[in-house]
């Protein structure tokens, strides 16, 4: 191949057809020969080499440096891309001075402004961000092709062209597009000075122009400069290695094993390339697998800005309604560890979750004259701080959405990030600092919309920020430091030895190419410049694939047989027709045998293989512990992995701190759930805002509160017994309790039922009052820091248990008899076992005997009889009463049964007895079937025999 290296202004050669080669290595040799010939006798003769990508340009520079002049390289050869060359020529000619490249976001903002002012045919969808996005994308294609006279276009294309032209007028002369760039570069080629600066031009592995502006610039290069084109393409050879894996993940694992094998045989990492057809899922999968294998790579990272907790947190906060922020969203951001209020130190996310699920009682609801405990004061302070924070957050968010200009929006949003997503320390992890800087860049870019896009709205700000975040991706490694990772386009024109082509399945390669509905191929003949059709674009993708197959000395092609996210099977790419496909075995086989090589891709694979072959791993305490856990649960051994914490040093519960009777009952229901909930504080929160009707728990609390307010008025003399007054209190409680999410007809039905139940309770109580009973206490509390002391019982093992509690109601008869009442709103069936002979129902119910012992203090006469009972106050419970007299025999039984449970708590006995799986609890979250299976093997353990009667199944 000959290239004229005479005077800079020599007439261009008439033949600029590309020279084709069978492989990229051969094309590289031809390139070196062409450059050497162009500089023969003139070592400072400029030569311009145009590469298909920046990475390819860098490879070509390195290659020519190794080859030219016996490895001494050449100072006059420059490798660049077509875009960069156009930028350089325009800068030298100063044609676009004072103008900046047009970002896609700014073009979209101009289109949005046109749609807001004159939507035309798009009136019904003009306010949708997707509309402006689609038209802006089409507008970029119309830069070179839009005719001056649009009257002959179809109505839809006419409207798109109208919006395009109007948006261009809004943008004015401050920006330049790709079409402007290439047009200016083409004009610059008219100047001899510019042509001399270029010298001979060699295009290497350039694809046929899909952009008409770029094609025109290339044509001008062929006309005004001495230009030659070198290309290489290859179809899959009959002996080409084509492998199929079960899915993309297995495919990525197989590639990593093959890479490890090549590295082991001495191939340098920077001479190996992995290229994928689709960014989703290959970009993340390949990056993750290379990371796990400890292989340094150069290419897109597995994660982008959108994957960081910082960016997710901002997007979630921007989704809030400033007037009524969804606390669940705020708690979710807090749990991710990025929400940090620069003004004050907030309580932990766990504390805030508990406060949201169970707010502290208002101070005015507390008993008059009774000071709250220190713990209650702290909860109230934390709650006030948290609710104050939510109010400030909503206020700042409202300020962001109220911005009148995009510059103001960027400023207020930057302040919002500084206030609520600030760094926790002066120095933070590098990856977090990078994410923060990138996020601020996204916010700063919003200023570009000033004076172009319509005034910002909440929806526009959310959309712009979300798109900016989604577009930012991170990069791993630097050139020459590791295995190359990229898309098919990134692999063309690369100087590599080993190439892996992944994702070569139909639907991925080729991917389906769709016609632009806003600019269909049928309108092509009406445009000023012909745009490529669907078929032409498909042919160009095939040619690009063939150029990729020419890369490297050794190639391996892989494709998945199945889809990770959908059913069905995938077929090898139609571009691989005639090749022999080798199917890789299953994932399990790959894991144990390292298919397609014997190499273990990661440390985890090596450990699994070693374990399967030898049965153990030396010096792996984590695995040893896992095997011990599995063995203990399989064999029914009551060990520390199954709730036996007898060997834990120090008390698990504080014997000096009073506990409630229900505390003991919770242990009997499920000792493991007790440990999780009461010891580890792993609470479950009911999301009441998602309910469509009042829950049973809320209904019970509501009735308790109504009766409490009513009976308190009777005991302090502020009101007289009256069903009208009771129902009046109920109506006020209904109004305060109403949730807007509840269905109105179900709430009306529930209120009617509650009114009926309250009327029945009032009538029953009135009969009791007529029979000589009077109310003496309501919500009588004992065992708190202030008020009545706890109920203390000496246990058989010599220890003492202290009980606290709050009794719904205490009545006293004129004869001196005392009656303790605890309201229940459910059914009475599970309480029927409670009798004086069995006062704790086999050690499962402790409320009544403890309340009865406490009520003795309220007797006016020594030896007065005390009765404790559950009062069922709904039709579901048939308004029944279950209880008994609390005498010395009951107290003795209470000491015995409570003593066993307290001893278990003190010893650390927390076996995994499952709770009911009919409602959400720790059992259902951990897996009810698995817990039942473990319990069946464990419940007959001799270590639990002393407590077996507590765990008898209800018949």
- Over range 609-627, report the average pLDDT: 81
Q: What is the pLDDT of residue 117?
A: 94
pTM attached to this predicted model: 0.78
Instruction: Tell me the C-alpha distance between 138 and 361, whole Å.
Output: 59
Please list, in sequence order, all residues whose beta carbon lies within 8 angstroms of the beta carbon of residue 918, skipping any fewer than 6 positions away: none
311 and 446 fall within a common domain: yes
Alpha-carbon dihedral angle through residues 892, 898, 904, 907, given to the nearest 10 degrees = -70
pLDDT in tens, 810-853: 999 999 999 999 999 989 888 988 999 999 998 899 999 999 99
Residues 858, 826 share a domain: yes
Query: What are 722's two structure tokens?
Result: 């009256």
Is residue 628 one of the residues assigned to a domain?
Answer: no
The enclosing domain of 268 has a CATH number of 3.40.50.300
C-alpha neighbours within 13 Å on the C-beta side of residue 293: 25
Q: What three-state secondary structure class fits 285? A: helix
Indicate the helix (H) or strand (E) that contains 49.
strand 47-51
Q: If 0-12 CB within 10 Å is exposed, 13-18 middle and 19+ buried, where does residue 312 land? A: middle
pLDDT exceeds 80 at position 691: no
Residues 196 and 132 in one domain: no
pLDDT top residue among 12 and 40: 40
Contacts of 481 (CB under 8 A, 6+ apart): 269, 270, 296, 298
Residue 362 has pLDDT above 90, yes or no: no
Lowest mean pLDDT among 13-22, 243-252, 419-428, 614-623: 13-22
pLDDT at position 325 over 50: yes
Closest CA to 759 of 721, 800, 802, 715: 721
- Going by pLDDT thresholds of 50, 70 and 90, the confidence category of residue 5 is very low
pLDDT at 312: 94
Q: 217: which 2 tokens?
A: 């610039």
Q: What is the pLDDT of residue 367?
A: 45
Q: Does residue 627 lie in a domain region?
A: no
pLDDT, average across residues 160-182 = 93
782 and 760 part of one domain: no
Are residue 447 and residue 487 in the same domain, yes or no? no
Q: What is the pLDDT of residue 318?
A: 96
pLDDT of amino acid 649: 60
DSSP 84: H
Q: Are 271 and 326 part of one and the same domain?
A: no
Percent over 90 (pLDDT), the chain: 57
Strand 297-304 relative to strand 473-476, pairing: antiparallel
For residue range 112-145, what is the model confidence (pLDDT) as tens digits? Answer: 999 999 999 999 999 998 999 999 999 999 998 9
Q: Is residue 598 part of a domain?
A: no
Whether residue 383 sits in one domain with residue 433? yes
Q: How far apart are CA 883 and CA 890, in angstroms?
A: 12
Query: How does DSSP assign 734-760, residue by residue?
Result: HHHH--TTS-HHHHHHHHHHHHHHHHH
Among 3-12, 141-150, 457-466, whose mean pLDDT is lowest? 3-12
Same structural domain, 71 and 198? yes
pLDDT, mean of residues 726-750? 90
**Claim to verify: residue 225 and residue 270 sit in the same structural domain:** no
Q: Are residues 105 and 227 in the same domain?
A: no
Whole-angstrom CA distances from 374 to 213, 377, 379, 381, 600 are 75, 5, 9, 10, 58
Whether the predicted pLDDT of 899 surpasses 70:
yes
Q: How distant is the alpha carbon of residue 674 from its chain centre?
A: 31
Query: Residue holding tokens 């749609």?
Result: 115
pLDDT digits (tens, 9 = 90+) for 78-122: 999 999 999 999 998 888 888 999 999 999 999 999 999 999 999
Confidence of residue 941 (pLDDT cuts 50, 70, 90): confident
Q: Which residue among 771, 795, 815 closes a domain? A: 771
* Weakest mean pLDDT among 47-61, 242-256, 480-494, 915-929: 915-929
Q: Is the pLDDT of residue 771 over 60?
A: yes
Strand order in the sheet with 773-782: 773-782, 805-813, 818-824, 866-872, 881-885
pLDDT digits (tens, 9 = 90+) for 549-602: 999 999 999 999 988 776 678 899 999 988 889 999 888 888 888 888 888 888
Position 363 pLDDT exceeds 60: no
Q: What is the 3-state secondary structure (H, E, C) of 620-648?
A: CHHHHHHHHHHHHHHHCCCCHHHCECCCC
Between the CA atoms of 154, 156, 157 and 162, what dihedral angle is there, to the nearest 10 degrees? 110
**Is residue 11 over pLDDT 50?**
no
Q: Is the peptide bond before 510 cis (omega within 30 degrees of 0)?
A: yes
Q: What would you report as the CA-atom Rg of the chain, rounded to the nearest whole angstrom?
A: 39
Domain of residue 751 covers: 687-771
* Coarse DSSP helix, strand, coil percentages of the chain, rounded to the nearest 5 percent: 50, 15, 35
Residue 258 lies in a domain: yes
Neighbour tally for 511: CB within 10 Å = 13
* Average pLDDT rounded to a whole number, residues 900-927: 86
Q: Is 78 helix (H, G, I), strand (E, B) or coil?
A: strand
The candidate with the shortest Cα–Cα distance to 59, out of 351, 383, 298, is: 298
- What the block records as the tokens of 175 is 């920006």
Say yes or no to pLDDT of 10 above 50. Answer: no
Residue finishing a domain among 740, 771, 802: 771
- pLDDT category at 648 given cuts 50, 70, 90 is confident
pLDDT over threshold 60, residue 369: no
Q: Does the pLDDT at position 778 exceed 70?
A: yes
> Above 50 in pLDDT, residue 541?
yes
Asked if residue 612 is part of any domain, the answer here is no
Q: Within a domain: residue 819?
A: yes
The answer to whether residue 366 scores a pLDDT higher than 60 is: no
Q: What is the CATH number of the domain that holds 799?
A: 3.90.320
Query: What's the rounded Cα separation, in Å, for the pair 217 and 209?
Result: 10
Q: What was the pLDDT predicted at 579?
A: 86
Q: What's the distance, CA 2 to chain centroid?
A: 58
Does 160 share its domain with 289? no
Q: Would you say residue 917 lies in a domain?
A: no
Total of domains in the chain = 6
Compute the distance between CA of residue 582 and CA of residue 572 in angstroms, rounded to an integer: 11
Query: 879 with 826: CB under 8 angstroms?
Result: no
- Is residue 487 domain-shared with residue 576, that is, in the same domain? yes
pLDDT value of residue 9: 44
The more confident residue out of 5 and 456 is: 456
Does any domain span residue 625?
A: no
- For the ranges 42-51, 497-506, 711-720, 732-741, the maximum mean pLDDT occurs at 497-506
Cα(376)–Cα(923) distance, integer angstroms: 30
Q: Kindly indicate the confidence band of residue 652, based on its pLDDT and cuts at 50, 70 and 90.
A: confident
């Amino acid at each position: 191949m000959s290239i004229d290296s005479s005077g800079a202004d020599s007439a261009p050669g008439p033949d600029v057809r590309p020279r084709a080669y069978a492989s990229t290595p051969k094309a590289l040799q031809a390139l070196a020969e062409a450059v050497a010939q162009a500089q023969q006798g003139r070592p400072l003769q400029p030569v311009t080499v145009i590469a298909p990508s920046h990475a390819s340009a860098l490879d070509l520079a390195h290659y020519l440096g190794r080859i030219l002049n016996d490895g001494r390289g050449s100072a006059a050869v420059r490798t660049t891309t077509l875009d960069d060359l156009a930028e350089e020529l325009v800068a030298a000619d100063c044609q676009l001075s004072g103008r900046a490249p047009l970002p896609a976001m700014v073009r979209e903002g101009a289109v949005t402004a046109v749609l807001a002012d004159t939507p035309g045919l798009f009136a019904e969808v003009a306010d949708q961000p997707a509309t402006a996005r689609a038209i802006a994308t089409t507008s970029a294609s119309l830069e070179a092709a839009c005719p001056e006279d649009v009257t002959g276009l179809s109505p839809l294309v006419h409207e798109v062209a109208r919006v395009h032209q109007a948006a261009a007028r809004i943008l004015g002369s401050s920006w330049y597009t790709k079409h402007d760039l290439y047009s200016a570069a083409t004009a610059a080629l008219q100047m001899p000075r510019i042509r001399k600066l270029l010298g001979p031009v060699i295009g290497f592995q350039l694809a046929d122009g899909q952009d008409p502006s770029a094609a025109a610039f290339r044509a001008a290069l062929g006309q005004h400069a001495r230009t030659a084109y070198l290309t290489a393409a290859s179809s899959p050879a009959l002996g080409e290695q084509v492998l199929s894996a079960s899915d993309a993940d297995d495919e990525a694992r197989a590639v990593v094993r093959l890479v490890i094998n090549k590295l082991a045989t001495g191939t340098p990492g920077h001479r190996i390339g992995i290229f994928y057809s689709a960014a989703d899922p290959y970009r993340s999968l390949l990056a993750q697998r290379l990371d796990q294998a400890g292989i340094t790579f150069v290419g897109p990272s597995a994660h982008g800005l959108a994957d960081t907790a910082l960016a997710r947190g901002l997007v979630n906060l921007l989704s809030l309604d400033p007037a009524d922020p969804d606390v669940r969203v705020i708690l979710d951001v807090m749990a991710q560890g990025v929400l940090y209020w620069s003004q004050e130190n907030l309580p932990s996310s766990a504390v805030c979750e508990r406060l949201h699920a169970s707010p502290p009682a208002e101070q005015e609801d507390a008993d008059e004259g009774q000071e709250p405990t220190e713990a209650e004061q702290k909860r109230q302070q934390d709650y006030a701080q948290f609710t104050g924070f939510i109010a400030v957050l909503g206020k700042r968010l409202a300020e962001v959405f109220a911005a009148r200009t995009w510059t103001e929006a960027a400023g207020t949003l930057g302040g919002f990030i500084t206030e609520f997503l600030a760094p926790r320390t002066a120095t933070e992890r590098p990856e977090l600092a990078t994410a923060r800087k990138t996020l601020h860049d996204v916010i700063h870019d919003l200023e570009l919309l000033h004076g172009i896009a319509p005034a910002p709205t909440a929806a526009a700000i959310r959309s712009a920020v979300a798109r900016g975040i989604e577009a930012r991706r991170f990069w791993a490694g630097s050139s020459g430091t590791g295995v190359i990772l990229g898309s098919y386009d990134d692999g063309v024109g690369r100087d590599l030895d080993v190439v892996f082509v992944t994702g070569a399945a139909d639907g991925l390669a080729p991917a389906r190419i769709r016609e632009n509905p806003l600019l269909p191929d049928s309108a092509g003949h009406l445009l000023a410049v012909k745009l490529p059709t669907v078929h032409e674009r498909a042919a160009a993708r095939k040619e690009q694939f063939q150029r990729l197959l020419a890369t490297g000395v050794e190639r391996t092609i892989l494709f998945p047989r199945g889809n990770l996210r959908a059913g069905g099977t995938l077929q090898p790419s139609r571009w691989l027709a005639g090749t022999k496909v080798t199917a890789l075995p299953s994932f399990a086989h790959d894991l144990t045998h390292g298919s397609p090589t014997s190499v273990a891709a990661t440390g985890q694979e090596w450990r699994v293989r070693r374990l399967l072959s030898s049965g153990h791993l030396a010096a792996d305490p984590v695995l040893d512990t896992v095997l011990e856990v599995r063995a203990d649960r399989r064999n029914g051994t009551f060990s520390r992995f199954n709730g036996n914490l007898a060997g834990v040093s120090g008390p698990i519960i504080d014997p000096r701190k009073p506990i409630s009777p229900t505390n003991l009952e919770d242990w009997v229901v499920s000792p493991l759930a007790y440990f999780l909930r009461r010891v580890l504080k792993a609470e479950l929160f009911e999301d009441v805002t998602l309910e469509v009707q009042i829950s049973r728990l809320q209904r019970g609390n509501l009735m308790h509160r109504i009766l409490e307010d009513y009976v308190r008025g009777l005991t302090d003399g502020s009101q007289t017994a009256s069903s009208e007054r009771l129902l009046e209190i109920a109506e006020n409680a209904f109004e305060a309790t109403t949730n807007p999410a509840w269905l109105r007809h179900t709430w009306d039905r529930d209120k009617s039922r509650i009114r009926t139940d309250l009327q029945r309770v009032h009538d029953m109580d009135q009969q009791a009052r007529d029979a000589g009973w009077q109310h003496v206490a309501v919500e009588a509390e004992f065992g708190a820091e202030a008020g009545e002391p706890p109920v203390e019982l000496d246990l058989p093992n010599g220890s003492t248990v202290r009980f606290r509690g709050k009794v719904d109601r205490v009545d006293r008869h004129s004869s001196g008899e005392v009656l303790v009442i605890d309201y229940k709103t459910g059914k009475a069936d599970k309480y029927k076992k409670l009798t004086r002979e069995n006062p704790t129902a086999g050690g499962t119910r402790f409320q009544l005997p403890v309340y009865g012992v406490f009520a003795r203090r309220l007797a006016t006469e020594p030896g007065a009889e005390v009765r404790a009972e559950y009062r069922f106050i709904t039709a579901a419970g048939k308004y029944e009463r279950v209880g008994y007299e609390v005498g010395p025999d009951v107290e003795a039984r209470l000491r015995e049964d409570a003593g066993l449970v307290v001893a278990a708590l003190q010893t650390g006995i927390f076996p995994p007895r499952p709770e009911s799986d009919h409602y959400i609890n720790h059992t259902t979250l951990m897996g009810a079937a698995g817990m039942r299976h473990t319990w069946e093997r464990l419940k007959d353990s001799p270590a639990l025999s002393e407590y077996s009667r507590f765990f008898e199944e209800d018949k």
